[in-house]
Structure 1
Amino acid sequence: MASKNPVRGYIRCHMPNCSQIGTVHAVGEHKILTKGEPPKNKRNVGRLYFQCPTCGYQQGKGDEFQSFILANMAETREALAVSQLEAITNKACDETSEPVKAVMETVTKTNVETGLKPENTKLKAVMAHLAAIGTILIVTSFFIFRNRTTPHERT
């Protein structure tokens, strides 16, 4: 069912595996515009919500949800598509930026100059296990031989 409230803007749905473009509305606008009076529940008047064509209504009431809608809302569907394309392009440019490459080169040169080698963690783990097993065997053999009596001592 379509919302009676007028469309304030458009937003891309945040639900997993959806990404459909939904319409943004404000609670109570229809009744204010048609009858001139606010709805019975006045505390939610003006709160933004959006309607996804696939998922239905998304009506979070918290401040975080309201700021999410305001930050991601666009006036038209075309503006939303353009802003999404710009965000993807900027993200791809940032990932291959020159400062990041310079830092990576510096770290690599530092490791080569200082002669750092990666630790052989598997060998250390095996050595720790072998040491623990050896300690257990020594303690166990000590108790076994300590309690054992020989035939000539039984007299």
Structure 2
Amino acid sequence: MARLNINGKLLDVDVEEDTPLLWVIRDHVGLTGTKYGCGVGQCGACTLHVDGVATRSCALPVSAVTVDQKIVTIEGLGADKQHPVQQVWAELDVAQCGYCQVGMIMAVSSLLAQNAKPSEDDIRSEISNICRCGTYPGVLAGVQLAAQRMAANKG
């Protein structure tokens, strides 16, 4: 049995301790926004936040997460209103097929929470998610616009 804090709710799940967090969230909690891509933590489709840090959930056993850690999925990121990254993604039409974009949005929102003014080099080194459609120019533009808007809203 694992007790997890997912999107601000404490949940008990009856799973083996080596079950990847991705499958706990999708199959046992029913939040299917987080996607399965490669299963080895390389592609980033499964990215979510653990204490604000972008984390690849397909390779993270549920036993590695404690009840004190806050897990946020795409469903929790924009629970009250769309996160600025989600708004920009829709406005710029960043996604093509969209499969990787949930993980991309989670990685970008984590980056911007830690670095409000990332350089292009910062973005390219920190956002390592794979997009088979090649939407990287749109992602770069989206990160830059979201950073500008988030900075403007703070000031």
Give the TM-score, by structure 1 length. Answer: 0.23
Say which one has the larger Rg.
1
Give the TM-score, by structure 2 length. Answer: 0.23
| Greater RCO, 1 or 2 (C-alpha within 8 Å, sep 6+) | 2
More helix by share: 1
